């Protein structure tokens, strides 16, 4: 098949008509078609002096040297699931021939959006304004939007009306289709919008560009069935779907063979993993099987819903060395009355008793959480209940959020708390959380712990940054050669939320 476009009017139709029906072959085909198109564009630009990459001669020469046809910048907003999706998007773009680019001065800018709180949406609109100015200077740059925010029809309407400089829009269910959607944009010459209401198929086996060679996220399920009354996720990510265990294990085996030593199993509610599979399996059983994979040394998971956290999982966390001693367990509120209105299906007492059982099994576990203040109807008394849980549990860290109205969720129509009251409670909560976290996080000072070295230190020359099993960061003297290995580090000094340390010598190891 000749994928070259010489005649705009006929060739696009011809190329499209010859595309295979089946995935992932169809997307592979469009990757080739896009590559042919952008290669021709790039060569034409080089020949005419009108650079496809309009960001300087040096950049152009660099691309040419690397055999690349343009630059692509993928910006991730939101959670770990989005970060993983961005790796898939970047994988496709690199296969087409783009070079990853760190700034938005690129030929293709793609925002992978989040909509969990309104400020996430506002950030995207703000940056789209900035991109408008850039595109005026460089009219042939391409701008794409995808992810959760795009699943809301009000957002699409607004973008069509006020941000017509956007070139392509797709949602959460069809990110695998990037190459085809890009092809359509080129062929049609104007904005392409492709949003699916629900997931039709899960397409695997497309290229992925992992951010780190030694650690990786792994999706074990998609979507959420919980419908917490404040949350938009079930509406934009759809119903819960678990991947088959064999598929997950095979992916992790491949990652391990490729040098990955740490995996993070990802899902909105991993504790209900596997319940709806033809042959049901529990999350704890999946963890056990992952831990049998040779080469994998650390296993993490996100996110756990307290209502579904089983005794079996607590046992696996206790017994399995590879499962990291860290649990992110969103509390949301400490008031049983508010938890009921949130549709969380546990009480304050249930949560506290769960924490007690976890700590009895894994005494040194690091606990982190999410908390929302100012949920509709929250009184000072309710808020005091939240503070009470915080003081009792003493979290290693807590992500704190002001309640944000999400249209279409049940809580949006409930009576709201005044903004100044929410703000004032938020400040009090943050202060408390930070003070406790500062005290709690320093508890390992003077001990030796394994740290997976992730990068050179951003601020200190001659230092590297590592992550302890309990997710705390440590900075210590070291060089490039340590990246990707687990090093025994002596934790010299706690600086609030991170440590300064040094590679453990024999003496401190023996202590």
Given a contact cutoff of 8 angstroms between Cβ atoms, the answer to whether 382 and 337 are in contact is yes
State which of residues 151, 268, 271, 386 lies at the interface with ligand SF4 (CB under 6 A): 268
Strands of the sheet containing 142-147, edge to edge, are 98-100, 70-76, 108-113, 142-147, 168-170, 192-194
Strands of the sheet containing 262-266, edge to edge, are 215-219, 262-266, 298-302
CB-hemisphere CA count at 13 Å for 49?
0
Q: In the complex with ligand 5AD, which residue's Cβ is closer, 84 or 406? A: 406
C-alpha–C-alpha distance, residues 289 and 458, integer Å: 36
Q: Which of residues 386-425 bind ligand 5AD (CB under 6 A)?
A: 401, 403-404, 406
- Here the tokens at position 496 are 């609030």
State which of residues 269, 304, 368, 470 lies at the interface with ligand SF4 (CB under 6 A): 269
**Which region, judged by CB under 6 A, interacts with ligand SF4, from 89-97, 186-194, 226-234, 393-401?**
226-234
User: How many binding residues for ligand SF4 (CB under 6 A)?
Assistant: 10
Write each residue from 60 to 99 as x if it is in contact with ligand 5AD (CB under 6 A), else as -, in one continuous string.
Answer: ----------------------------------------
The option from ligand 5AD, ligand SF4, none interacting with 487 (CB < 5 to 8 A, set by class) reads: none
The option from ligand 5AD, ligand SF4, none interacting with 305 (CB < 5 to 8 A, set by class) reads: ligand SF4
Q: Which of residues 231-270 bind ligand 5AD (CB under 6 A)?
A: 231
Q: What are phi and psi of 427, to 5 degrees?
A: -60, -45
CB of 220 to ligand 5AD, least distance (A): 18
The option from ligand SF4, ligand 5AD, none interacting with 224 (CB < 5 to 8 A, set by class) reads: ligand SF4
The option from ligand 5AD, ligand SF4, none interacting with 490 (CB < 5 to 8 A, set by class) reads: none
User: How many binding residues for ligand 5AD (CB under 6 A)?
Assistant: 12
The option from ligand 5AD, ligand SF4, none interacting with 268 (CB < 5 to 8 A, set by class) reads: ligand SF4
C-alpha–C-alpha distance, residues 127 and 73, integer Å: 13
C-alpha–C-alpha distance, residues 495 and 511, integer Å: 23
The option from ligand SF4, ligand 5AD, none interacting with 170 (CB < 5 to 8 A, set by class) reads: none
Of all residues in this chain, which one has the CB nearest to ligand 5AD in the complex? 370
**Which region, judged by CB under 6 A, interacts with ligand SF4, from 220-228, 417-425, 450-458, 465-473?**
220-228
- Listed in sequence order, the residues at least 6 apart from 192 whose beta carbon sits closer than 8 Å to its beta carbon are 167, 168, 169, 181, 184, 185
Q: Is 322 in the site for ligand SF4 (CB under 6 A)?
A: no
Q: Which of residues 227-246 bind ligand SF4 (CB under 6 A)?
A: 227-228, 231, 233-234
Given a contact cutoff of 8 angstroms between Cβ atoms, the answer to whether 114 and 77 are in contact is yes
Q: In the complex with ligand 5AD, which residue's Cβ is closer, 346 or 403? A: 403
Residue reference for tokens 């391990």: 256
**Helical (H) or strand (E) element with 491:** strand 486-494
- Listed in sequence order, the residues at least 6 apart from 181 whose beta carbon sits closer than 8 Å to its beta carbon are 144, 168, 170, 174, 192, 194
- Here the tokens at position 302 are 């996100």
CA 284 centroid distance within chain: 22
Q: Which of 205, 261, 206, 238 is nearest to 81 (CA)?
A: 238
Q: Which residues does residue 399 pair with via DSSP β-bridges, in sequence order?
A: 370
The option from ligand SF4, ligand 5AD, none interacting with 401 (CB < 5 to 8 A, set by class) reads: ligand 5AD
State which of residues 332, 335, 366, 386 lies at the interface with ligand 5AD (CB under 6 A): 332
State which of residues 338, 362, 372, 389 lies at the interface with ligand 5AD (CB under 6 A): 372
CB of 211 to ligand 5AD, least distance (A): 21
Given a contact cutoff of 8 angstroms between Cβ atoms, the answer to whether 498 and 472 are in contact is yes
Helices (H), 3-144: 8-17, 25-48, 57-66, 80-96, 118-137
CB of 347 to ligand SF4, least distance (A): 16
Q: What are phi and psi of 437, to 5 degrees?
A: -60, -40
The option from ligand 5AD, ligand SF4, none interacting with 269 (CB < 5 to 8 A, set by class) reads: ligand SF4
Q: Which of 219, 212, 177, 217 is nearest to 194 (CA)?
A: 177
CB of 242 to ligand SF4, least distance (A): 14
**Which region, judged by CB under 6 A, interacts with ligand SF4, from 221-229, 271-279, 461-469, 498-506?**
221-229
Write each residue from 272 to 311 as x if it is in contact with ligand SF4 (CB under 6 A), else as -, in one continuous string.
Answer: ---------------------------------x------
Q: In the complex with ligand SF4, which residue's Cβ is closer, 164 or 276? A: 276
Number of C-beta neighbours around residue 510 at 10 A: 8
Q: Which of residues 100-119 bind ligand 5AD (CB under 6 A)?
A: 116-117
Alpha-carbon dihedral sign for residues 474, 479, 480, 482: negative
Name the site residues for ligand SF4 (rule: CB under 6 A): 224, 226-228, 231, 233-234, 268-269, 305
Residues that bind ligand 5AD (CB under 6 A): 116-117, 230-231, 330, 332, 370, 372, 401, 403-404, 406
């Amino acid at each position: 098949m000749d994928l070259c476009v010489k005649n705009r009017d006929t060739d696009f139709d011809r190329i499209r008509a010859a595309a295979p029906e089946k995935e992932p072959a169809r997307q592979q085909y469009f990757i080739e078609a896009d590559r042919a198109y952008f290669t021709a564009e790039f060569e034409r630009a080089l020949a005419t002096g009108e650079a496809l990459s309009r960001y300087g001669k040096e950049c152009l020469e660099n691309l040419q040297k690397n055999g690349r046809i343009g630059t692509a910048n993928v910006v991730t907003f939101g959670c770990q699931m989005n970060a993983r999706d961005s790796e898939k998007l970047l994988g496709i773009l690199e296969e087409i021939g783009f070079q990853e680019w760190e700034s938005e001065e690129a030929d293709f800018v793609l925002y992978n959006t989040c909509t969990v709180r309104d400020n996430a949406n506002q950030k995207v609109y703000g940056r789209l304004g900035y991109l408008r100015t850039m595109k005026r200077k460089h009219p042939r740059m391409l701008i794409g939007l995808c992810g959760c925010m795009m699943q809301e029809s009000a957002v699409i309407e607004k973008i069509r009306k006020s941000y017509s400089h956007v070139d392509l829009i797709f949602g959460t269910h069809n990110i695998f289709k990037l190459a085809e959607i890009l092809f359509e944009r080129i062929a049609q010459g104007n904005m392409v919008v492709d949003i699916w209401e629900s997931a039709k198929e899960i397409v695997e086996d497309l290229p992925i560009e992992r951010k780190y060679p030694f650690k990786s996220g792994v999706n074990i399920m998609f979507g959420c069935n919980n419908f917490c009354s404040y949350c938009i996720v079930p509406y934009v990510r759809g119903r819960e779907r678990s991947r088959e265990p064999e598929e997950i294990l095979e992916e992790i085996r491949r990652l391990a063979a490729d040098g990955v030593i740490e995996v993070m199993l990802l899902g909105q509610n991993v504790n209900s993993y596997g319940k709806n599979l033809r042959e049901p399996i529990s999350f704890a059983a999946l963890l056990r099987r992952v831990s049998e994979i040779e080469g994998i040394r650390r296993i993490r998971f996100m996110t756990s819903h307290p209502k579904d956290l089983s005794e079996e999982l607590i046992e696996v966390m206790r017994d399995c060395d590879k499962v990291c001693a860290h649990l992110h367990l969103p509390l949301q509120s400490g008031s049983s009355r508010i938890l009921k209105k949130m549709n969380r299906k546990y009480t304050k007492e249930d949560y506290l008793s769960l924490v007690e059982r976890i700590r009895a099994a894994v005494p040194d576990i690091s606990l982190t959480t999410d908390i929302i203040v100012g949920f509709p109807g929250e009184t000072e008394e309710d808020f005091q209940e939240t503070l009470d849980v915080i003081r009792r549990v003493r979290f290693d860290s807590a992500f704190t959020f002001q309640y944000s109205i999400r249209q279409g969720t049940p809580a949006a129509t409930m009576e709201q708390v005044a903004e100044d009251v929410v703000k004032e409670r938020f400040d009090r909560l943050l202060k408390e959380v930070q003070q406790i976290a500062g005290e709690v996080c320093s508890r390992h000072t003077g001990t030796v712990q394994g740290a997976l070295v992730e990068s050179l230190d951003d601020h200190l020359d001659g230092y590297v940054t590592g992550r302890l099993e309990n997710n705390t960061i440590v900075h210590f003297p070291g060089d490039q050669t340590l990246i990707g290995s687990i090093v025994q580090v002596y934790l010299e000094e706690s600086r609030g939320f991170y440590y300064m340390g040094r590679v453990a010598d024999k003496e401190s190891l023996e202590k």
